[in-house]
A and B are shown apart, each in its own frame.
Chain A
Amino acid sequence: MSDHHHKETFVTKYIFSQDHKMISKQFLVTGMFMGIIAVLMSMLFRLQLAWPEKSFTIIEAFLGPHQTDGVMNPDMYLALVTIHGTIMVFFVLTAGLSGTFSNLLIPLQIGARDMASGFLNMISYWLFFLSSVTMVISLFVEAGPASAGWTIYPPLSALPQAIPGSGTGMTLWLVSMAIFIASSLIGALNYIVTVLNLRTKGMKMTRLPLTMWAFFITAIIGVVSFPVLLSAALLLIFDRSFGTSFYLSDIFISGEVLHYQGGSPVLFEHLFWFLGHPEVYIVLLPALGITSEIISTNSRKPIFGYRAMVMSIMAIAFLSTIVWGHHMFISGMNPFLGSVFTFTTLLIAIPSAVKAFNYVTTLWKGNLQLNPAMLFSIGLVSTFVTGGLTGLVLGDSALDIAIHDTYFVVAHFHLVMGVSAIFGMYAGIYHWFPKMYGRMMNKTLGYWHFWITIVCAYGVFWPMHFIGLAGLPRRYYSNTAFPMFDDLADINVVITIFALVGGIAQIIFLANFFISIYRGEKATQNPWRSNTLEWTTPVEHIHGNWPGKIPEVHRWAYDYSKKVDPNDDDSDYLHGQDFVLQTTPLLPGEEPS
């Protein structure tokens, strides 16, 4: 933890690195690799949904034994949606997003030389890597990967007789997730300890940038809820391999009665969603934190309602742990519980609304610098509102029974947590790329990337609400078995075209990312003229972040465009420029904001 450099070999610098900046890059690149797999999968099953009986060379090439003459098999369709969901939720949006930016920003923004434990941090990454490898290997087992949906409800996930993917594929899925949970717990504990203990002088909790609040609270939710998923997975492993009956009871399959007695799948659903719902916020809150920071910086305005933003993060975090039952209104649990969960669920709309309104107010009368990162943040606010609002429909148990598990749900959660969180991740990458690689990304490609992506995101998910309202269930291999859905075929084609274009457009981003690492313009120290501490470190990475002493903090992170006369918007900037680093001491007579 001192400034002197130890000699680093290639291995300690690039592979088993304990430096948080390198670890964050490792998380990012691994997450991106997994993301490419998941996007490709979604493109394959979208082909199937749009043109159910058509033969595709690409499907023949990718799916090998799991297709017949270029048409994928029903089991493989289910496997694709299962693994797409798993990878996106856990590997891309939990590890790829939170892992990348928590690691990069926590020490830099609170003024610490590194994470509390660099060693545990390294372990956290390598466990994540191991779990990614396991998940990828599971794609190649003979009977196919896990295919019981990303929610892996037993008995389907417990009985290989019920679906081939519940054999070796499911075992590997469970092993991979167990390792993943260990990784994310170690990471989260590290983040919490670091934020609590290693803040630099003057960095009070009330002066933390909103990114820090978001990552900190996210880590707490993770620590509270991930262990429950681990126990759910362990009990499932017991049921599968050791003949226990935690989740299984009274089953007759393949002509015989199984020995299981007294278990209940509903128990699994409770345990799963006790993580599963907070997981939504584990995915979303970091994206919202990143957005708060970027919108404020690029609006050249303080974030509106800093305290309200912190309070709503806390309120969302608290409520997120007591709403899991809204995934289970029709699971057969006591209807009274349904009432309770409807109540708590709809309450979440309040802090969410506060956040959305505060973002819009931050834009109001700003001096918006429309960098790609800013556009993605604005895009996030847009999709967060669109997706969040339909939550009012689904969170209401009386309405949920009519559209539960239809495409309405798919549209809702993709917009509110999928697209929004991905937008937050892209925003973060464009914004902190100079901090990660010392170079800048190309803005023209960034603009192309953004506009194509947002048009396609809406093109995919807005019409999807309506096919949901037509009663079309999700996870159907094909809709041709029901004449009542025949009139949805054209819409499915349109959705697929948007999905394909949107998916392929991500190549623009990949090109920009990888070319910029080597050929991008060299970054200046503070390219976005931002207030936070990470922009006081040198562009070239050094172990320990700051040469010499860690700077002291004197103010909050949002003194943008502070004027001489607070009541006159046109008066001169108090500090001669429209941003004030957190390390700048208060002027004589200056009111802290």
Chain B
Amino acid sequence: MLALFYIFIGVAIGVSFWQITRILNFRTVIADDADNAKQGKYAIYFMVFLYAMMIYCLIFMNVIMLPEAASVEGEHDDRLFNITFWLIGIVQFIMQFLIFYFTFKYRGNKERKAKFYADSHKLEAIWTITPAIVLVVLIGYGLWQWNNVMDLSDAEDPIVIEVYSQQFRWDARYAGEDKTLGLGNVNFIEGINTMGVDMSDKNSQDDIQVTELYLPKGRKIHFKFRSQDVLHSAYMPHFRAQMNCVPGMVTEFGFTPKYTTEEMRQQPEVVAKTKGINKVRSAKGEELYEFDYLLLCNKICGASHYNMQMKITVVEQDEYDEWISKQPTLASVLAK
């Protein structure tokens, strides 16, 4: 059966080659006026296609995009993104128009004479300086925001959480009452101590190991990331946050959740997106989806990279306090 399939493909390719050589006259090689006229027209048709597609995607794919940032720090990210996007959008629409319109407008013919125009310092200065000024603004805002996100030193009373990665799962460890994480190293991995916590460190005793993240709304979360095998990347798209987990070192990141999971589910953007997703899911007969924050692995890490995730739930402070008080400490778990 397979052999027949290949023979069929081979014959089809052979026939099309033969037809091409027969139908097409290999003597037509250089564009003449008729070609220029025709291709110039096609440039306009293509431009229409391109604009239609660009606009269609910009309007109708809005609904699939990530909803508004769910972290306080992410607000500026969204604003900077919008500014940049408007800017490059405008430049894109103008430039593509010029490229294809000129292709049509100045399509060659025997009578036309091209303008001999080799240089203009004024023009060149304009399009060197204008991007430079625009970039100063973008770079300035970007760097300010970058410091904003990466600087964890001034956070008041942050919650310290270690996110721990291995092929192909995530675990997390809360610092507990002393607000300090105990030391960890792969050499301490043994039995149910899967994160390799050094239990001789007194800071380790009250640490709490979990498989799902609970975060209180409005508190700065100070994440520390570790990996025990290969590179992973903790990607929390809704919070506009991402950091690699690197074996042999601890990396850090922080943000402040702005909306609880419940609040996020009520958001118009999220409601619309969820509706779209559930349309697809119910058509396939799968159970309906409800919005949840997620942590995804975003650095190629092996076969099941595509399914390495951890659920994040953002709740009000009192709910969080209740939840954390119910979690057993590492010392008590390991003692069993």
Q: Which residues of A contact B (CB under 8 A)?
A: 57, 60-61, 73-75, 78, 148-149, 153-156, 159, 162-163, 248-253, 257, 262-266, 299-308, 330-332, 335, 338-339, 342-343, 346-347, 349-350, 353-354, 356-358, 360-361, 363-371, 374-375, 378, 381-382, 385-386, 389-390, 392-393, 396-399, 401-402, 404-406, 440-445, 447, 451, 454-455, 458-459, 462-463, 465-467, 469-471, 473, 475-479, 481-484, 486-491, 507, 511, 515-516, 519-521, 527-528, 558, 560-563, 566, 569-570, 573, 578, 593
Contacts and interface: CB of A to CB of B under 8 A. Distances in A.
Contact of A350 (B63, B81, B131): B131
B65 A74 contact: no
B309 A482 contact: yes
Nearest to A74: B303
Contact of B273 (A264, A302, A487, A570): A487
B278 to A, nearest CB: 8
A148 B273 CA distance: 33
Contacts of B199: none
Given A339-B143, A364-B106, A399-B77, 4 more contacts: A159-B229, A163-B302, A335-B150, A402-B74
B115 A366 contact: yes
Contacts of B85: 393
Output the residue of B20, B167, B231 with the most chain A CB within 10 A. B231
Contacts of A262: 248
Interface in B221-241: 225, 228-231, 233, 235, 237-238, 240-241
Contacts of B328: none
Which secondary structure dominates where chain B touches chain A?
helix
Interface stretch (B155-163, B175-183, B202-210, B291-299): B291-299
Choose among B64, B240, B280 the residue with the greatest number of A CB atoms under 10 Å from its CB.
Answer: B64
B118 interface: yes
Residue of A299, A335, A519 with highest tally of chain B CB at under 10 A: A335
B229 A511 contact: no
A561 B115 contact: yes
Contacts of B196: 252
B186 A251 contact: yes
A346 B139 contact: yes
Nearest to A347: B135
Nearest to B152: A335
A511 B17 CA distance: 7
B31 A155 contact: no
Given A343-B143, A368-B36, A527-B29, A266 B249 contact: yes
Which A-B residue pairs are the 6 nearest by beta carbons? A249-B248, A471-B237, A440-B29, A332-B251, A335-B150, A481-B307
Interface stretch (B39-47, B211-219, B256-264, B312-320): B39-47
Contact of B102 (A155, A264, A363): A363
B7 interface: no
Contact of A442 (B29, B61, B147, B291): B29
Interface in B75-120: 76-77, 80-81, 84-85, 87-88, 91-92, 95-96, 98-100, 102-103, 106-109, 112-120
Contact of B240 (A252, A401, A484, A516): A401
Contacts of B103: 363, 368, 370, 378
A74 B302 CA distance: 8
A366 B5 CA distance: 50
Contacts of A371: 30-31
Max count, chain A CB within 10 A of own CB: residue among B66, B146, B243, B305: B146
A162, A332, A357, A516: most-surrounded residue (chain B CB, <10 A): A332
A517 B27 CA distance: 13
Nearest to A527: B30
Given A162-B302, A398-B146, A484-B294, A153 B189 contact: no
A300 B108 contact: yes
Interface in B1-39: 2, 5-6, 13, 16-17, 20-21, 24-31, 35-36, 39
B301 A300 contact: no
Given A248-B247, A440-B29, A466-B65, A360 B99 contact: yes
B336 to A, nearest CB: 22
A305 B247 contact: no
Given A266-B246, A369-B108, A520 B26 contact: yes
Contact of A74 (B25, B40, B142, B306): B306
Contact of A382 (B29, B96, B117): B96
Nearest to A593: B118
B138 interface: yes
A43 to B, nearest CB: 14
Given A354-B128, A370-B108, A364 B102 contact: yes
A178 B142 CA distance: 38
Given A156-B301, A361-B123, A443-B31, A578 B65 contact: no
B145 A398 contact: yes
Nearest to B248: A249
Contacts of A489: 280
B89 to A, nearest CB: 8
Nearest to A445: B24
B138 A392 contact: yes
Contacts of A396: 80, 84, 138-139, 142
Contacts of A251: 186, 228-229, 247-248
A473 B298 contact: yes
Contacts of A397: 142-143, 146
Contact of A455 (B49, B298, B301): B49
Given A163-B302, A330-B244, A382-B100, A445 B20 contact: yes
Given A57-B5, A442-B28, A443-B28, A398 B99 contact: no
A519 B306 contact: no
A305 B119 contact: yes
A487 B27 CA distance: 50
26 contacts: A61-B6, A149-B300, A162-B230, A252-B186, A252-B196, A257-B186, A266-B249, A300-B108, A330-B242, A343-B139, A346-B142, A354-B128, A367-B113, A385-B92, A386-B92, A397-B142, A402-B242, A442-B29, A455-B46, A475-B306, A511-B16, A520-B26, A527-B30, A561-B116, A569-B115, A593-B118
A467 B65 CA distance: 7
Nearest to B104: A368
A385 to B, nearest CB: 5
Given A155-B229, A365-B115, A470-B66, A252 B302 contact: no
B29 A265 contact: no
Nearest to B151: A335
Given A252-B189, A264-B249, A455-B46, A354 B127 contact: yes
A370 B107 contact: yes
Contact of A385 (B95, B150, B186, B241): B95
B44 to A, nearest CB: 12
A335 B148 CA distance: 11
B327 interface: no
A393 B131 contact: no
A447 B95 contact: no
B60 to A, nearest CB: 9
B305 A475 contact: yes
Contacts of A349: 131, 135
A459 B244 CA distance: 32
Contacts of B27: 521
B116 A563 contact: yes
Contacts of A308: 124, 128
Which of A354, A386, A479, A483 has the largest number of chain B CB atoms within 10 A?
Answer: A483
B149 interface: yes
Contact of B247 (A250, A458, A459): A250
Nearest to B275: A487
A447 B39 contact: yes
B140 to A, nearest CB: 10
